[in-house]
Amino acid sequence: MKTNELSPEDALRLSVLLAGEVHAVRLDEQVPALHALTPRGEARIALHPDCRTEQYLMRVRGLLGGHALGSPGGYPVHLARWTRMGQAGSNKLGALLLLGEAEAVVAVAHAPGLTDELARRAWWAAPSIENARSMLGNPEVAHGEMGKPLADFLIEHLPFEEDPAAAMNSVRVVLAAGQPDAAGRLALWARARTRPHYFIGFLEYLPDALPGDEQPWDCGAAVLSLAAEGNAWAIALVRACSASGQSFLKAAVAVLEKPAVPDAVYALFDAIGAWCGALAAAPGRAELAHAAPGHVPAIEALSALSGIDAATAVPILGRSSAVGALMRRQLEPVAAPLLGHLQALRQTDPILSHD
């Protein structure tokens, strides 16, 4: 037998398999065996190495690469880099799932041309947290049949995610996909009380439908009247005084008081700025202050918060690799006044008129 050939039994079975319709392939290096996803379900072919298992599996991958890509060497290194950057054409994605290469599956998971069906196949081939996050971030997948199972997987594995940035991103993609249901969102919100970086996804994707139990505040008839007339500043103040607005502010304070990593700070600042909107360029501030002088501190807070975004933190965090307590100390010159503005929007007497 030539050193680059498979055993006759394996070569025959693989040839028969590949002559039919195969959706995805994965290799079990421990047994060893090849598993294939077909229209009829899963097929398994036990392999019979006549050399070291690692070397033999390279031969198998060579056969798969020749079949799928016309590349008998398997999955070329340059192609690995190319596809990981999302540059694989949609017509190539299905072929990548036939290579038995974990890196090829990652490339498919990152590809802009990913479909719900390809996501199903890729998930069978390599169900990992990274792949779930990448695929759920694709709108077609998020709103397809794979959306719920991928979201459920990420939520289930959140307690085991040690990297705060990774956990934050899992929650973000889950909520962006419209998952989980109301009960699941409430449970996830409750878990965020001890892991504040979970709140960020809520602030980004559910700013006006937060599941907190905060009480609304009565901002007064004059403010409501101006809001009804379209005054942007009054609309922002009414939003802040709502139950969801108060939940937003409370959650933002929780994140800002104890951010774990720079990514959480950047995302929080962007979420706060987006929540306030482009008030700086909007008319109506003086009119609101005149109609509701008791709300001037809150109006000033809205003005300050509307100018916040990730760039606000870059001059400090961009010069440092610190995380945790050291990062929070470095961020103090920015965080302290920001906390004051957030608290100013919460320091209003409930159900009282301010006319």
Task: Give domain status of residue 119, yes or no.
Answer: no
| Cα dihedral 345, 349, 353, 355 sign | negative
- One DSSP character per residue, 22-83 reads --EEEEETTTTEEEEEETTEEEEEE---SS-HHHHHHHHHHHHHHHHHS-TT-S-HHHHHHH
Task: Give domain status of residue 123, yes or no.
Answer: no
Closest CA to 154 of 182, 122, 117, 123: 123
pLDDT score of 255: 97
Greater confidence, 351 or 216?
Answer: 216
Residues 295 and 355 in one domain: yes
Task: Give domain status of residue 1, yes or no.
Answer: no
pLDDT above 70 as % of the chain: 90
Residues 193 and 221 in one domain: no
Residues 340 and 229 in one domain: yes
> pLDDT tens across 153-174, in order?
999 999 999 999 999 999 999 9
How far, in Å, CA of 63 to CA of 110, rounded? 25
> pLDDT tens across 163-204, in order?
999 999 999 999 999 999 999 999 999 999 999 999 999 999
Indicate the number of domains in the chain. Answer: 3
**Could you tell me the pTM of the whole model?**
0.88
Task: Give domain status of residue 163, yes or no.
Answer: yes
pLDDT confidence of 355, banded at 50, 70, 90? very low
* End residue of a domain, out of 173, 189, 211: 211
Residues 338 and 246 in one domain: yes
Residues 136 and 105 in one domain: no
Residues 223 and 349 in one domain: yes
* End residue of a domain, out of 181, 211, 241: 211
How far, in Å, CA of 230 to CA of 25, rounded? 58
In terms of residue numbers, what domain contains 146?
A: 128-211
pLDDT score of 71: 66
pLDDT confidence of 70, banded at 50, 70, 90? confident
